[in-house]
């Protein structure tokens, strides 16, 4: 097959694969890529068996990059430990190649182990870098493999175990797809591209975030809104970690309540950490921390049945957070924001934190709000805490949040110039 005309080599794709079990298949994919004018390097993530073909990046290099010893892992002969170490090493390898400007795409082949290793490495790369995983698990539950990344998952159809009529077709198409993405080069940026702001929103904070979004957009920002459903919070954190964001308007931190109490919409313990770690200007508030989320009423654990519950619909049941839980949440937010390396402000709406936490609504609880505020005061350190005599969905609160973030972003820009 003649090379495709277009962007001149070198275009380099890393192929992550256990060469002791899938070496011939990987070599086949490398050959197709090379026929298409794309250089491909085989990264051996295997451990126990012997490689079927030579590697461009050896397994010893992979495990060393992940802080492990190949010899020790082979001596232990524990497949689980080997896969975990290989995943760390593969992640380190792809990060380094990307940082050095040598990486145009990552392709991986495998079953359970190969998918675990390959997608772990891919999740470490920024959005936009081509990532293609050919997996025997692609037709099942794959959310934990994908996370918040833009990984393209391709069903292997048959096991990645030998070359046959079906596997050759799948692997050829995978190589062609990767070649097309990799040869496309870096994604273009428009001269007028605006600074990106990420905002967190829930149904019960929508009026606030929508008004703040409009105000930010009027000032030249591009606002990405993430629904605080667990996946949304994780994606926001990943984008902050990637360095794509100029600011974060984290007004809806409700996922922290689900993580603390055991609801169904947790974004994990790392929620509300990435922006601070990367020094990104952020305005944080306590939106929807009056609630923990469950599915239908039958999904509420028995130990919570005596709590204040609100049946939002047949599939969503909300539980009011207690004063004690609010105190703990306030302390957690204060600690996390206090650790920020960049400018940060916390805004607190004294009249309510969600559409159903205000006078006359089912979650109205001034005592719980007072404990939430007390927790923030105890742990916020030197971070500015602004207490506003507004409800979170009041126009004045939204305007203050947007204006505060714009001010922090300008301060950071000026300090760098």
Q: Using DSSP bridges, classify how beta strands 309-313 and 291-294 pair: parallel, antiparallel or unpaired.
A: unpaired
The C-alpha angle with vertex 393 and arms to 247 and 267, in degrees rounded to 5, equals: 55
What CATH class does 196-416 carry?
alpha beta
| CB hemisphere CA count around 287 (13 angstroms) | 28
Architecture of domain 12-183: 3-Layer(aba) Sandwich (3.40)
For residue 253, which of 289, 206, 291 has the smallest C-alpha distance?
Answer: 289
Contact 202, 281 (CB under 8 A): no
Rounded to whole angstroms, the Cα distance separating 290 from 202 reads 12
Q: Please count the CA atoms within 13 angstroms of the CA of 382 that sit on its side-chain side.
A: 5
Nearest CA to 88 out of 76, 96, 99, 100 is that of 96
The pairs formed by 307-310 with CB atoms below 8 angstroms and a separation of 24 or more are: 308/362, 308/363, 310/356, 310/362, 310/363
Residue 367, Cβ neighbours under 10 Å: how many?
10
Q: Exposure string (b/e) for 148-185, b if CB count within 10 Å is 16 or more?
A: bbebbbbebeeebeeeeeebeebbbebbbbbbebbbee
Three-state secondary-structure class, residue 331: helix
CA nearest 82: which of 92, 96, 90?
90
Structure tokens belonging to residue 241:
């970690």
Q: Which residue has the tokens 């380099």?
A: 12
Please, how many CA atoms are within 13 Å of residue 130, restricted to the half-sphere of its CB? 26
Cβ atoms of 20 and 46 within 8 Å: the answer is yes
Structure tokens at 377: 């005061």
Looking at residue 413, what is its pLDDT?
64
* Residues in CB range of 169: below 8 A, 6 or more apart: none
Q: Would the CATH topology of 12-183 be identical to that of 196-416?
A: yes
232-254 burial by CB neighbour count: b if 16+ within 10 A, else e? bbbbbbbbbbbeebbbbbbbbbb
- Cβ(127)–Cβ(101) below 8 Å: no
- In angstroms, the CA 53 to CA 299 distance is 52
pLDDT at 192: 58
The domain segmentation of the chain, as residue ranges, is: 12-183, 196-416
What is residue 202's predicted lDDT score, i.e. its pLDDT? 96
Token pair recorded at residue 18: 């256990």
Q: What is the dihedral of CA 194, 200, 202, 203, to 10 degrees?
A: -20
The pLDDT score that the predictor gives to residue 417 is: 52
- Rounded average pLDDT per 10-residue block, the chain, 417 residues: 44 94 95 95 94 95 95 90 95 95 95 94 92 94 87 94 93 97 76 84 97 97 96 92 92 98 96 97 98 95 95 94 98 98 98 97 98 98 97 98 97 65
β-strands 282-284, 291-294 pairing: unpaired
> According to the model, what pLDDT value does residue 149 have?
87
Report the half-sphere exposure of 189 (CA within 13 A, side-chain side). 9
CA gap 31, 81 in Å, rounded: 31
Tokens of 121: 């490495």
Q: CA 113, 93, 126, 178 torsion: positive or negative? A: negative
| Residue (of 347, 414, 335, 332) closest to 382 by Cα position | 335
SS3 content of the chain, % helix, strand, coil (to 5): 45, 20, 40
Dihedral sign (CA 60, 65, 71, 74): negative
pLDDT at 173: 97
Nearest Cα neighbor of 286 from 192, 337, 353 is 353
């Amino acid at each position: 097959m003649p090379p495709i005309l277009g962007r001149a080599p070198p275009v380099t794709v890393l192929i992550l694969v256990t060469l002791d079990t899938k070496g011939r298949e990987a070599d086949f994919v490398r050959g197709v890529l090379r026929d298409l004018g794309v250089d491909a390097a085989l990264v051996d993530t295997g451990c126990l068996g012997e490689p079927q073909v030579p590697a461009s990046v050896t397994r010893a290099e992979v495990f060393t990059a992940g802080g492990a010893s190949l010899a020790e892992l082979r001596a232990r002969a524990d497949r689980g430990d080997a896969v975990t170490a290989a995943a760390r090493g593969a992640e380190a390898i792809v990060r380094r190649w990307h940082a050095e400007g040598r990486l145009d795409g990552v392709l991986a082949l495998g079953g359970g182990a190969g998918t675990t290793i390959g997608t772990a490495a891919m999740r470490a790369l920024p959005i936009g870098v081509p990532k293609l995983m050919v997996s025997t698990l692609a037709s099942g539950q794959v959310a934990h493999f994908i996370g918040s990344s833009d990984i393209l998952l391709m069903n292997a159809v048959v096991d990645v175990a030998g070359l046959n009529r079906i596997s050759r077709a799948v692997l050829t198409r995978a190589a062609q797809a990767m070649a097309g993405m990799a040869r496309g080069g870096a994604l273009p940026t428009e001269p007028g591209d605006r600074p990106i702001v990420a905002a967190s929103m829930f149904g019960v904070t929508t009026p606030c975030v929508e008004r703040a979004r409009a105000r930010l957009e009027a000032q030249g920002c591009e606002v990405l809104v993430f629904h605080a459903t667990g996946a949304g919070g994780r994606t926001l954190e990943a984008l902050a970690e990637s360095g794509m964001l100029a600011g974060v308007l984290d007004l809806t931190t409700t996922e922290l309540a689900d993580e603390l109490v055991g609801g169904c919409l947790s974004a994990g313990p790392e929620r509300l950490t990435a922006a601070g770690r990367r020094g990104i200007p952020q305005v944080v508030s306590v939106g929807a921390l009056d609630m923990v989320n469950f599915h239908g009423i039958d999904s509420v654990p028995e130990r919570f049945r005596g709590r204040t519950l609100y049946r939002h619909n047949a599939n969503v049941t909300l539980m009011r957070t207690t004063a004690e839980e609010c105190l703990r949440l306030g302390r957690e937010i204060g600690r996390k924001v206090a650790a920020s390396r960049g400018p940060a402000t916390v805004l607190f709406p004294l009249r309510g934190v969600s559409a159903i936490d205000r006078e006359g609504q089912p979650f109205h609880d001034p005592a719980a709000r007072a404990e939430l505020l007390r927790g923030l005061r105890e742990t916020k350190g030197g971070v500015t805490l602004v207490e506003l005599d507004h409800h979170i969905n009041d126009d004045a609160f939204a305007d203050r949040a947007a204006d505060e973030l714009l001010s922090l972003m300008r301060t950071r820009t000026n300090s760098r110039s």
